[in-house]
Structure 1
Amino acid sequence: MKIMSNEQLVVSYRDALKSGSEKEWIRILKMEIKKRGLKAVNK
Structure 2
Amino acid sequence: MKILSNEQLVAAYRDAEKQGNDQDWIQLLRKEIRIRGLKPFRKS
TM-score range, shorter chain: 0.7 to 0.9
Higher normalized contact order (CA 8 Å, seq sep 6+, divided by chain length): 1
Q: Displaced runs of 4+ in structure 1, greater than 2 A?
A: none
1:2-41 alignment to 2 at 5 Å?
Answer: 3-41=3-41
> In structure 2, the residue corresponding to 1:39 is in which secondary structure?
coil
Alpha-carbon distance in structure 2 between the residues aligned to 1:3 and 1:31: 14
The runs of 5 or more residues in structure 2 that have no matched partner are: none
Q: Could you state the TM-score of these two structures normalised by the residue count of structure 2?
A: 0.84
Q: Could you state the TM-score of these two structures normalised by the residue count of structure 1?
A: 0.86
The runs of 5 or more residues in structure 1 that have no matched partner are: none
Identity %: 57
Alpha-carbon distance in structure 2 between the residues aligned to 1:9 and 1:21: 15
Figure out how many residues of one structure are paired with residues of the other and give that number: 43
